Structure 1
Amino acid sequence: MNDNSIHLSNQTLSEICACKKNESKPRKYQCDFVPMKHQVAGHKIKRNTKQPAFLLTKCGKLLKVIQSYERGIREHQFYKFINEYVAKNKEEKYLIKKLKTFVPGYYGTERIQNYTYIKLENLFTNIEEPNILDLKIGPLLVDPKANIYKIKRSRYKCDYLAYTGFQLIGMQMYANDNVVKLDSKTGRALSLTKVNQVLSQFFSIHHQQKISINKFILSSVLSKLLDLYAWFSEQNFFSFVSASILIIFSSKQISTITENFNGKASNGYTSHQISTYSNHQKNVSYILENFENQSVHKSSTVYLNPKYFESLSNIAQYYIQSFVQTPIVHVKLIDFAHAYHTNNLDINSIIGIKGFINSLVSILLDINC
């Protein structure tokens, strides 16, 4: 890829926030918008104001207020860029097109009470009783341009970060008609053991007696994470600091799905199904033998072993194909206030995604692959 082929523009915050001729006049949010209901992380109001940081429109879009200073400029420009950029070659075209599948859709901006919002896809559309997981990826979660004090302080905020490559900053789970929530302060203060317990609970809290459904949820998320990991392993034009992975699925919808087959060989299955099951067991055995060597703090490389990656992909697809329906499971990359142009691989994000993948693999193995 050409070194200088991709650049974010130097548009100023005032230019972004200026009302264009074809934009409607600023509206009062009480009349046309409602505050976001399912927010598990981030600021609920714009700093030093009473303006909601997130709003929902009546037409089903999510509005995120543009942050102050350079952070707001970068995030808005990132969304705008990937939707307007014209690739110079097939490689760029493929990678930008692929990136757009990992981030919420972008629909321009909206002016409300003299504040400018980025208009985005509402990932909660048609999601009843959403289970939500928000985590920061990468061991480096502070902007490289930050002062030394802030960089040093960030290292002591989360003890398990060096082992996992990610940190939990928000969660919501529906369990027995109750809503269980976890905020960023609690998420960062967890021990490594507690992190694994919380993740395990998140992916299985509703279906303790339906192990196969737990595998379906995990596999759906894992499959999308592997795609995201593969993209990061190829691209060398964006670097993300303090970006998040957001996972959303409907607790209500998941409980209604039915299995196509349960993955166990028996006299009632065709030779193809038995062969598929046999190959699945080989993949599981390989993962069991090599899992420890792929952990963030033990591996000699930041990358997943290619065969390990392939085996995980096969395991995920095996469970996904075991069900008749395919419920909505969102896995999106969000929070781009610190997205930068680069000419190098984003090792920080690769480490974070790899660590989260292995945490999910550990849970999958624990529930009896």
Structure 2
Amino acid sequence: MMARLRLVSIGVLLAQFHAPQAWSENGDRWTHAPYELGQGLNFPQIGVNVGGYLSLRYRDVEDAPSTLSLKDLSLLLSADVSDRVNLFTEAEIGEAVSVARHGIDSKNAEFEFERLYADYRARQHVTLRVGKFLTPVGRWNLIHADPLVWTVSRPLTTSVSFARQAAGAMVYGSVPLGDTLNDNGLDYSVFVDDTDLLDRDQQEELAYEDANPGITAVGAFEHAAGAHVTYHLLDDRMNLGASYLRYRMADLHEDKDLLGVDFFWNLSRIELSSEWVYRNSRGGAEPDERGGFVQAAVPVAGHMYAIGRYEHYTTAVQPERVEVETLGLTYRPHRAISAKLEYRDGDHNRLVAPSGWLASIAVLF
């Protein structure tokens, strides 16, 4: 089913490039708007925007060889089919090439459609999305791209207890609330997922991206339903969010409930963020998971920021509670460029988030 959606979407995108209305009076349909780094290349005559991002990562952690890899190479393509319909795809090659002591290889390279969906704007505050999209839980998972987040490593809280992507349908929108002059409002999303039917290839996704390769927990839903809300206040300098999911993971045998909260506060000299989740087995035999993190980003000089994060997480793959501390520096000369260096350490973290050094350079085109 997802393969058919891919073919249809690609066909429509190609049709956008060849549509008669794409031709201007002088026959030049390829005139693009002035390019700005991080905003993609926009072709207003045909309603198409082409962008992407890449990430180079260095990893030197316990129980693994030091590696330098092209971790992410992503193409972002958006097309306005009509005033109400938009198509979007994110096609990615992960771990395209790695360099280690034993040489250069691409055995871990993997191509996938991270996102592939169609949006239909039904009303001012209501949009229907159909396809494969990011699971609306918390804040990090919806941002996720390396150029846009503060650290190389990803908190366990933001990915291991649920699938990062869903395949199905979602209704979402934004509703102004209270003082509209201060951008107060509520974002909402409600979705249903049937990955088992629509995107069986997703079952190859691992829940633990940056862990011992012996952990084979699958990061894919079998089926799911859920909702997420975010309240924006203080001129959008503060966000308060909450999530709820009911789902079954592809490699588990019991339905799960997940409750989550997330927080973001952009102060004049510090940015604070936090996410917490609790996943229960509704009385079943499989163990619950729970945990959260608190993170601070502080400007120290020019475009340089100091980052600190503390996380604790109780995971089903080991009996001990994991504690992880991350300290790092992030250089961000432009909102679309980041260079990061961090050291990660902790207690009982060797299996799921091993201690060591990580660095990356990322660019959003």
* TM norm structure 2: 0.25
* TM norm structure 1: 0.25
Higher strand share: 2
